[in-house]
Structure 1
Amino acid sequence: MLSTDSSKRNSFQRHVADGDMVIVYERHDNMKAVRVKEGSDFQNRYGVFKHSDWIGKPFGSKVFSSKGGFVYLLFPTPELWTLVLNHRTQILYLADISFVISYLEIVPGCVVLESGTGSGSLTTSLARAVVPSGHVYTFDFHEQRADLAREDFDRNGLASLITVSVRDIQGEGFPLEFCGIVDSVFLDLPQPWLAVPSAAKMLKQDGVLCSFSPCIEQVQHSCEVLRQNFTDIRTFEVLLRTYEIKEGRMEATTKNTKGSLLGSLPHKRRQYLSAERSSEGDEKPTLIVRPCSETRGHTGYLTFARLTCI
C-alpha cells in the first residue's frame, strides 16, 4: 500500500489500521494479501488469528493465533505484491522489474506510459518510482483485465498515481495528448514493433523505451523498426540464481587411508566411514549452500532504446 502522504510512506513509521492491506507471511514461499477488518479473522494451519489483535501493531510484527502458532504482518511493498497478486497474465518478477526501472531512468516526477497492464506487477513498482509528483498511464486492450487491475491499484492506495485505460495500442497507438511529454515507455505486447512509431512521438527528446519479449524473433523485428528513430539499442536477458543456506551435515569427502575420496566409495562403505567419523566426534554441523530448486530462469528479453535527438 503506497501513499504520497509522507507520514505513511515508510512501513517502519506505520501501524496496522482497520481497512489496511497486509501481507501475512508464513515463509518465503507462502504469503497472502489480507484486508484487515475489525471483527474478522484469518485462519491457516497455525490456527485462528483475530484481525482485532493486529490493529495497532507496527508492520513487521510477529502475531500469534489461538493455538500459539504465529505469522508476520508485512507492509505490502511492490516486491511483496508481485509475489501474492492474482496472475491474469504472465508477470515480470523482481530481477526484470528492477532492471527496467533502472534502465528506463525512472525517477520521482516522471511520466510513464505502459502497454499492456496485465496483472499489474510492473505497474505497481513504476508507481512507487514516480512518487510524489509523477504518474503512470497504463493501457490494456482487454476491458475485464483492465478493470481488475484498476481495483487492485485502488485497494493498494495507488489510484492517484496510476490511470488505467482500455486501448489497443498496437492498432491505435498511444493517445495524442501525450505527444512529446513522456519520459519513458514500456511495451509488453505480442507485436511491439507496431507500437514503436507511436511511442517515438510520445517521448521527450532523449527519452527511453523498453520492450519486453519472450522470443528472440520478436526482438529482431522490433530492433529493425527501432533503428528508424532510436539509438543506443541494447537487449538484455536477466538471469537470477538464488541460494538456500541451512545447517546440516555434509557427506564425508576427506581422503581415506589409501588416498581416495570417501565420495568415490560404495554407498554402504561411505555410510560406515561417516558413522565411524561421527562416533569419533569429528563430524560437526555445517552450513550447506546450494542453488534454490525454485529459482526462475529465463522470463524474456528486455530491449532498450533511446530516442534520437533531432
Structure 2
Amino acid sequence: MLACHPAKKLSFNRSISDGDLVIVYEKHESMKAVTVCEGSVLQNRFGVFKHSDWIGKQFGSKVFSSKGGFVYLLAPTPELWTLVLNHRTQILYIADISFVITYLEIVPGCVVLESGTGSGSLTTSLARAVAPSGHVNTFDFHEQRAELARADFEKTGLSSLVTVKVRDIQGEGFPDDFTGMADSVFLDLPQPWLTIPSAAKVLRHDGTLCSFSPCIEQVQRTCETLQTRFTDIRTFEVLLRTYEVREEKMQSISGDGDGSNGSVPKKRRQCSDGSFVLSSSPSISSVMARPCGDARGHTGYLTFARVKCFS
C-alpha cells in the first residue's frame, strides 16, 4: 500500500526501496515516519542509521546503528500511520475507525464519500478497505489542509484510491455528480444535520451513513433530521481500555499463617501499586495485568443510519 511510486502494488511483502515510506519503531511509545533516501541518515539516541543499509531489507527488519543500537523498519499500515501522522485536526483512532468500517459495511469495490478530510487518519483506513477496485472521495473546506492531505496520500501510495477535493459540504452539499453513486457516506462536521438531505441523495439503494460528533446535543439534532430520510438509526460510544501486562516481583511484609494447623505458612505480599497477593513462597513472581494510566476515554459519538427505500 505504501510505496511512494504509484505504480507499485499495495503490498508489504517486498523489499524496501529508495523513496519508500517506513515507520521507524524505536519503542512502544516512540515511532516516526521516515522517507528512505540513499545518502541520508537517521540520528537518535540509539545511534546513527544509514538509509543505504535499509534498502533491500524486508519490512519488519531489525537494523543496527554503528554503536550497536537498533530499531525496526515497519510497513506504514493505516494503524501505524494513525499513530505517526501530523495532527492538522482532531483524528479518529483505531477503535472508532474499525467500528466505522464494519457498520458502514465497507468492502473492496465500494464507493465512499467522506467529509471532512482533516488529517486523513480515517481516509487511509477507508482506502485500504475499498482496495483494489473501490474509491474514496474525501472533501474538506480548507484548501491548505486538503493539499497537505493529498501529499500524505501520495507518500503512502494511496493516490489511485483517494481523491481529495475542496468543498464546503456543510454549506453546499455533495456534488450532483455523485447522485445515487455512493455505497457509504461518512460525516465529521460541526452541523451534520445540514448535510443529511444531500447525503440521502448521493447514497445508493440501501446505502449507509455515519456521523461522528463529540457532543450529545449534536447527536440529538442529527437523529431528528435522519428520521425523515433514513431508518435503522443507532448511536454508539466506543470506549477502549488498554491493559499493561508484565511480571511483578512481590515484597513479603507479614505472615498470615504460622502453619500450626497443618497448612502451609502464607505470606501477604504487596505489589508496586499497593495491592496485595497471598503466597506461600517468599520468592514468587507473578504476571500482573492492570489498566494503562493513559488510556483514552471519550472521543465522540458514532451515529449510523440506512437510507430509506421509497417505492
- The verdict on a shared fold, with TM-score over 0.5 as the criterion, is yes
Q: Of Structure 1 and Structure 2, which has the larger fraction of its residues in helix?
A: 1
* Distance in 1 (alpha carbons) for counterparts of 2:253 and 2:189: 51
Give the TM-score normalised by the residue count of structure 2.
0.90
Cross-structure match for 1:267: none
Cross-structure match for 1:43: 43
Cα deviations across residues 70-118 of structure 1 (Å, max 9, x unaligned)? 0000000000000000000000000000000000000001000000000
Helix, strand or coil for the counterpart of 1:204? strand
Helix, strand or coil for the counterpart of 2:56? coil
- Distance verdict in 2 for CA 1:285–1:6, change over 3 Å: farther
- Distance verdict in 2 for CA 1:7–1:39, change over 3 Å: closer
Helix, strand or coil for the counterpart of 2:109? coil
Cross-structure match for 1:15: 15
Helix, strand or coil for the counterpart of 1:124? helix
- Distance verdict in 2 for CA 1:65–1:260, change over 3 Å: closer
Tell me how far 1:27 sits from its aligned partner.
1.4
* Distance in 2 (alpha carbons) for counterparts of 1:138 and 1:10: 23
Cα deviations across residues 33-78 of structure 1 (Å, max 9, x unaligned)? 0000001000110000000100000000000001100000000000
The alignment status of 1:203 with 2:213, answered yes or no, reads no
* Distance in 1 (alpha carbons) for counterparts of 2:98 and 2:204: 22
Cross-structure match for 2:106: 106
- Distance verdict in 2 for CA 1:82–1:51, change over 3 Å: same
Matches within 5 A, 1:129-140: 129-140=129-140
Helix, strand or coil for the counterpart of 1:294? coil
Cross-structure match for 2:171: 171
Cross-structure match for 2:229: 229
Cross-structure match for 1:73: 73
Matches within 5 A, 1:286-297: 286-297=286-297
Cross-structure match for 1:94: 94
* Distance in 2 (alpha carbons) for counterparts of 1:60 and 1:244: 23
Cross-structure match for 2:283: 283
Helix, strand or coil for the counterpart of 2:37? coil
Whether contact under 8 Å (1:206, 1:307) holds in the other structure is yes
Give the TM-score normalised by the residue count of structure 1.
0.90
Helix, strand or coil for the counterpart of 1:195? helix
Q: Which runs of 5+ in 2 are unaligned?
A: 259-264
Whether contact under 8 Å (2:25, 2:74) holds in the other structure is yes
* Distance in 2 (alpha carbons) for counterparts of 1:10 and 1:159: 15
Q: Of Structure 1 and Structure 2, which has the larger fraction of its residues in strand?
A: 2
Helix, strand or coil for the counterpart of 2:210? strand
Tell me how far 1:202 sits from its aligned partner.
0.3
Helix, strand or coil for the counterpart of 2:105? coil
The alignment status of 1:215 with 2:215, answered yes or no, reads yes
Cα deviations across residues 4-42 of structure 1 (Å, max 9, x unaligned)? 99984332x211110000000011210000000001000
* Distance in 1 (alpha carbons) for counterparts of 2:281 and 2:237: 48
- Distance verdict in 2 for CA 1:209–1:257, change over 3 Å: same
Whether contact under 8 Å (2:169, 2:195) holds in the other structure is yes
Whether contact under 8 Å (2:2, 2:75) holds in the other structure is no
Q: Which runs of 5+ in 1 are unaligned?
A: 265-269
Whether contact under 8 Å (1:245, 1:288) holds in the other structure is yes
- Distance verdict in 2 for CA 1:2–1:35, change over 3 Å: closer
Tell me how far 1:289 sits from its aligned partner.
1.0
- Distance verdict in 2 for CA 1:252–1:308, change over 3 Å: farther
Whether contact under 8 Å (1:2, 1:128) holds in the other structure is no
- Percent identity reads 70
Whether contact under 8 Å (2:184, 2:209) holds in the other structure is yes
Supply the AA of the counterpart residue of 1:172: E
- Distance verdict in 2 for CA 1:15–1:257, change over 3 Å: same
Helix, strand or coil for the counterpart of 1:98? helix
* Distance in 1 (alpha carbons) for counterparts of 2:253 and 2:194: 58
Cross-structure match for 1:162: 162
With 85-94 and 251-260 compared, the bigger mean Cα shift is at 251-260
Cross-structure match for 1:64: 64
Helix, strand or coil for the counterpart of 2:67? coil
Tell me how far 1:246 sits from its aligned partner.
1.2
